[in-house]
């Protein structure tokens, strides 16, 4: 029997099956404690682990509190282990689940779409196939988000999909040129009207460049997104946050500032989207990996900023991308960013996809978005709080002048 690219199951595969059986036994034995706790406190069956932990903190019986805390942690670990192993075997059989487990709508739970589908436009970018530091599930994240928009009745012609080298799923190549063209097509598309919802989603590597590489004596860094063809013999540069910011300001002037940028990537130097190595010692051996990518050489920052200035479709004042840090001003009113983690943290992925993307999709499907703002999305203990439930040091953040607006519904020209 043929399994994916392999003819037989390996010893590691059998180890995963044994771990899966152990995880299932653990879940079966501990779930009754969780169910009884939820019934006692009149909670929904879908209540997130972070809510359970907050209730535990309020308990007066320290012995009972400690016992339940251990049970819930072990249960979370077993569920994560099970998810990882099932994802591993899905890859082995060449089965790609489209919507992550955490992103699926729950039975009996519905909410209105947070946007007018007929007036929604999106550019979705996913990159796995980096030459030096490949990822596993960034493309999967992008497909899941595309599925979400499609199921919300967004016109397929309103969605530009860029994945790896292109071809699969009808996608265009996620090269530097391809990404910039897709973004600028939003600006120049006469069918997009002022105030329409515009969503830009990126899953892949983030990169950080030290400013002192170009401006000696300065501090801080310039962050960047990594296209699939970065580096190589042609020395293709990354796409800096400066270039993106200048473009978004231009886009807002043309189409209004109801623009949301979703980034499931890291920003720290040696940026990673990382597999969880260890959750109570139960994480599948097959997914113990760390993915890293570095900046493109000592002159990488210089080449990246100069490439931004030489791009033929830009409209900003010449030289702005090369401005000295003391003269650079971020345009914070043109858009809102939803980022998967803080600058000092890492963005994790497991065998089923990005931890942030899975959690974000779950919010989009199952939480009431009628009155939810960007700020409320990432409040401590709030809608995305369960990312930390099994030990991920990953805290999603939002940024921009209009973070107090409803998600995907920024009043056009507000704050501009």
pTM of the full structure: 0.74
Domain boundary among 95, 130, 153: 95
- Residues 6 or more apart whose Cβ sits within 8 Å of residue 158: 120, 121, 122
Using CA atoms, how far apart are residues 89 and 291, in angstroms rounded to an integer? 20
Q: CA nearest 280: which of 85, 87, 102, 80? A: 80
Domain boundary among 39, 72, 95: 95
In a domain, 383, yes or no: yes
In a domain, 71, yes or no: yes
pLDDT mean over 185-203: 97
Residues 222 and 289 in one domain: yes
**Is 319 strand, coil or helix?**
coil
List, for residues 232-247, the tens digit of each pLDDT value.
888 999 999 999 999 9
pLDDT of residue 269: 29
Statement: residue 279 has pLDDT above 60: no
- Residues 6 or more apart whose Cβ sits within 8 Å of residue 317: none
Pairing of strands 397-399, 336-339: antiparallel
Cα angle value 233/268/177 (rounded, 5°): 35
- Output the domain CATH number for residue 180: 3.40.50.1460
Alpha carbon distance, N-terminus to C-terminus of the chain: 61
Pairing of strands 206-210, 221-225: antiparallel
Q: Are 339 and 403 in contact (CB under 8 A)?
A: no
Residues 138 and 207 in one domain: yes
Q: Are 161 and 373 in contact (CB under 8 A)?
A: no
Residues 278 and 174 in one domain: yes
pLDDT mean over 11-20: 80
List, for residues 99-109, the tens digit of each pLDDT value.
444 444 544 44
Q: Band of the pLDDT at 351, cuts 50, 70, 90? A: low
Residues 212 and 283 in one domain: yes
Residues 28 and 134 in one domain: no
What is the domain range of residue 71?
11-95
List, for residues 18-46, the tens digit of each pLDDT value.
888 888 888 888 888 888 877 777 765 44
Using CA atoms, how far apart are residues 123 and 121, in angstroms rounded to an integer? 7
Residues 245 and 375 in one domain: yes
User: Tokens 């030990």 label which residue?
Assistant: 391
Specify the DSSP class assigned to residue 231.
Answer: B
Which whole-number Å values give the CA distances from 212 to 150, 300, 302, 384, in the listed order? 44, 12, 11, 35
In a domain, 3, yes or no: no
Q: Are 143 and 151 in contact (CB under 8 A)?
A: no
Number of domains in the chain: 2
Q: CA nearest 251: which of 335, 159, 134? A: 335
Residues 67 and 167 in one domain: no
Supply φ then ψ for residue 198, to 5 degrees.
-120, 125
| Least confident residue range of 45-49, 140-144, 153-157, 391-395 | 45-49
Residues 209 and 302 in one domain: yes
In a domain, 2, yes or no: no
pLDDT of residue 284: 35
Pairing of strands 159-163, 120-126: parallel
| 3-state DSSP helix/strand/coil % of the chain, to nearest 5 | 40, 15, 45
Domain boundary among 49, 67, 95: 95
Residues 279 and 195 in one domain: yes
In a domain, 334, yes or no: yes
């Amino acid at each position: 029997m043929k399994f994916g690219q392999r003819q037989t199951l390996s010893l590691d595969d059998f180890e995963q099956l044994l771990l899966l059986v152990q995880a299932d036994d653990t879940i079966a034995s501990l779930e009754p404690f969780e169910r009884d706790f939820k019934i006692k406190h009149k909670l929904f069956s879908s209540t997130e682990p972070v809510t359970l932990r907050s209730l535990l903190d309020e308990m007066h019986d320290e012995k009972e509190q400690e016992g339940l805390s251990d049970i819930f942690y072990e249960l979370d670990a077993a569920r994560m282990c099970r998810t990882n192993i099932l994802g591993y075997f899905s890859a082995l059989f060449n089965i790609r689940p489209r919507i992550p487990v955490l992103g699926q709508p729950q039975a009996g739970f519905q909410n209105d779409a947070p946007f007018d589908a007929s007036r929604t436009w999106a550019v979705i970018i996913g990159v796995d196939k980096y030459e030096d530091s490949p990822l596993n599930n960034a493309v999967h994240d992008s497909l899941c988000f595309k599925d979400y928009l499609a199921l919300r009745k967004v016109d397929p012609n309103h969605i530009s999909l860029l994945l790896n080298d292109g071809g699969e799923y009808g996608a265009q190549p996620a090269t530097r040129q391809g990404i910039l063209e897709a973004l600028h097509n939003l600006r120049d598309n006469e069918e997009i009207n002022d105030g329409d919802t515009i969503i830009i989603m990126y899953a892949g590597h983030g990169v950080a460049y030290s400013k002192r590489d170009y401006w000696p004596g300065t501090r801080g860094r310039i962050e960047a997104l990594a296209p699939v063809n970065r580096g190589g013999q042609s020395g293709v540069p990354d796409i800096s946050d400066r270039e993106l910011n200048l473009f978004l300001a231009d886009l807002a002037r043309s189409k209004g500032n109801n623009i949301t940028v979703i980034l499931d990537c890291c920003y720290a130097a040696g940026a990673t989207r990382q597999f969880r190595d260890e959750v109570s010692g139960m994480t599948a051996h097959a997914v113990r990996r760390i993915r890293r990518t570095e900046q493109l050489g000592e002159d990488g920052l210089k080449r990246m900023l100069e490439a931004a200035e030489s791009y033929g479709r830009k409209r900003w004042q010449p030289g702005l991308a090369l401005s000295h840090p003391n003269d650079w001003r971020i345009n914070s009113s043109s858009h809102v960013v939803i980022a998967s983690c803080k600058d000092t943290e890492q963005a994790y992925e497991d065998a089923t996809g990005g931890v942030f993307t899975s959690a974000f999709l779950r919010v989009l499907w199952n939480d009431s978005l009628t009155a939810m703002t960007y700020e409320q999305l990432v409040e401590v203990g709030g809608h995305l709080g369960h990312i930390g439930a099994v030990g991920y040091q990953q805290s999603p953040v939002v940024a921009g002048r209009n973070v107090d607006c409803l998600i995907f519904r920024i009043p056009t020209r507000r704050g501009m």
